[in-house]
Structure 1
Amino acid sequence: MADDLKTETTGTETLITPPKPERSLARIQAVPWFIVILLIAAVAWLGWRAFFYQEEGDPVGSAMLAFEKQNSLTVFSSRFEVVAESTNTTSLGPITLAESRQAAIIPALVEYRVNLSTIGRDRIAWDAGEQVMDITLPMLKISKPNLDEARQKTFTEGVWVSRGASANLSRENSRQAEIKAAAFAKNPEVLALARSAAKDAVRQNLTIPLQVAGYDDITVNVRFDGEKVQ
């Protein structure tokens, strides 16, 4: 301790000067840890910003993002049976050699889809004050009827039905069944069910993500092109 003190003698007085305080070793060691903590905080913030943060004030952008992820949404499917009937005649000139008839009951499936990728900002209206979003959907896309011919039931009449005649009857019944199934799929009552299912599906697919984004009291109204705003 005595070695660290500096003395100065002036006349008859001796002045003792204390040593200058050295820089704290603990403070020096804490600097790198402080930098590491800052880096960890920055990385955590960037990760949250990239994967969890959603800009408030742009619910339309959130809705479009949800549509982009869904792309094409199957909203309704209709299963029904189609009855088709056809005849086949084998003749030699004016003489009819054989005539056969076949009726078939064929199960069919038709799906109704909404092409969400075509929905842009022009189809979305947002009322920030009331927290109401209006969505206008494009017309439903109806799939080509899927005939389950493996499960069809057939009834054939004729004294003698050749292999060729049987193939012709089956082919004609399939053609008729597809036409009838496509016509049934456009039945107004079936279309009304499909549109209602589409509205419910789109409303549910938007309401939940928007509520998660902070719009707790949001109302989503959905309609199709040509329908009046309710």
Structure 2
Amino acid sequence: MADNLTSRDTTATTVDPDFRPEIRHERSLARVQAVPWLIVIALLAAVAWLGWRAFIYQEEGDPVGSAMLAFEKQNSLTVFSSRFEVVAESVDSRGIAGIDLLKSRQAAIIPATVEYRLDLSQMDRDRFLWNDATDTMTVVLPVLKISRPNLDEAEQRVFTEGNWVTRDASADLARNNSQQAERKAAAFAKNPEILSMARQAAKDAVRQNLAIPLQVAGYGDVTVNVRFDGEGEAG
């Protein structure tokens, strides 16, 4: 009985000790070889998804929503800036008992800048019209807003006449010229030719801001027509 037990114990210990570690080694090697392929597959899947998202997928099929998204984070868009010079001239008289004893005159040439902006807060869905048959987006813009003239008085050229110009007279002449220059600049900013240039710049800016986002959203080669309130459809 004891011999049989001894025989069984001896048989159990004679199993090849390298057998199981070899299996583990082969399994580990298979896992290592599979990792690069898994990475490649994951990358291909990511590239395919990004391509589908950019060129095929259309979120809710809503080109108007895509167009509005292009302006979503902008409250105002400066589309044109005009810089010009205005001439102002003032005369100052000072005296005693109604008698003018001191007269002075000052002329100034002052550079001015005016900006033309679109109020994008007014761009609701009613201002966008999509024609699915012709892939055409029509946009109707509100009237341009004109900024207050910015006078560059540091660059102004001043010409003063008078035998004796007091400090108070000089200050009054400069102040009057600045007020006069601002009024003239505001009037010049509404010149029909300048306004026409500003409107055209606005249309070009809107076309550029909409055409590319619509293409990226998957709507293809889109035509963008832009006009202002009160203009004909060909604007």
TM over 0.5: same fold?
yes
Tell me how far apart the structure 2 counterparts of residues 102 and 211 of structure 1 sit (CA, whole Å): 58
Task: Return the match for 1:64 from 65, 68, 82.
Answer: 68
Tell me how far apart the structure 2 counterparts of residues 174 and 206 of structure 1 sit (CA, whole Å): 41
Taking structure 1 as the reference length, what is the TM-score of the superposition? 0.77
Q: What is the CA deviation profile of residues 4-27 of structure 1, one whole-angstrom value per residue up to 9, with x for unaligned ones? A: xxxxxxxxxxxxxxxxxxxxxx9x
Q: What is the CA deviation profile of residues 200-219 of structure 1, one whole-angstrom value per residue up to 9, with x for unaligned ones? A: 00001000100111122211
Identity %: 69
Tell me how far apart the structure 2 counterparts of residues 112 and 94 of structure 1 sit (CA, whole Å): 47
Aligned length: 195
CA contact (8 A) 2:58 2:218 kept: no
Counterparts of residues 18-167 of structure 1 (less than 5 Å): 54-55=58-59, 57-167=61-171
Tell me how far apart the structure 1 counterparts of residues 182 and 58 of structure 2 sit (CA, whole Å): 47
CA contact (8 A) 1:88 1:169 kept: yes
SS at match of 1:60: helix
Structure 2 counterpart of 1:120, one-letter code: D
CA contact (8 A) 2:112 2:151 kept: yes
Q: 4+ runs of 1 displaced by more than 4 Å?
A: 51-54
What are the ranges of 5 or more consecutive residues in structure 1 without an aligned counterpart?
1-25, 31-36
1:186 aligns with 2:190: yes
Q: What is the CA deviation profile of residues 136-193 of structure 1, one whole-angstrom value per residue up to 9, with x for unaligned ones? A: 0000010000000001000000010000000000000000000000000000000000
What are the ranges of 5 or more consecutive residues in structure 2 without an aligned counterpart?
1-26, 32-38
Tell me how far apart the structure 1 counterparts of residues 141 and 71 of structure 2 sit (CA, whole Å): 11
Greater helix content: 2
CA contact (8 A) 2:141 2:226 kept: yes
CA contact (8 A) 1:124 1:136 kept: yes
| Equivalent residue number for residue 212 of structure 2 | 208
Greater strand content: 1
1:56 positional shift: 5.3
1:116 positional shift: 1.4
Q: What is the CA deviation profile of residues 24-65 of structure 1, one whole-angstrom value per residue up to 9, with x for unaligned ones? A: xx9xxx9xxxxxx9xx99xx7xx97xx966515210000111
Taking structure 2 as the reference length, what is the TM-score of the superposition? 0.76
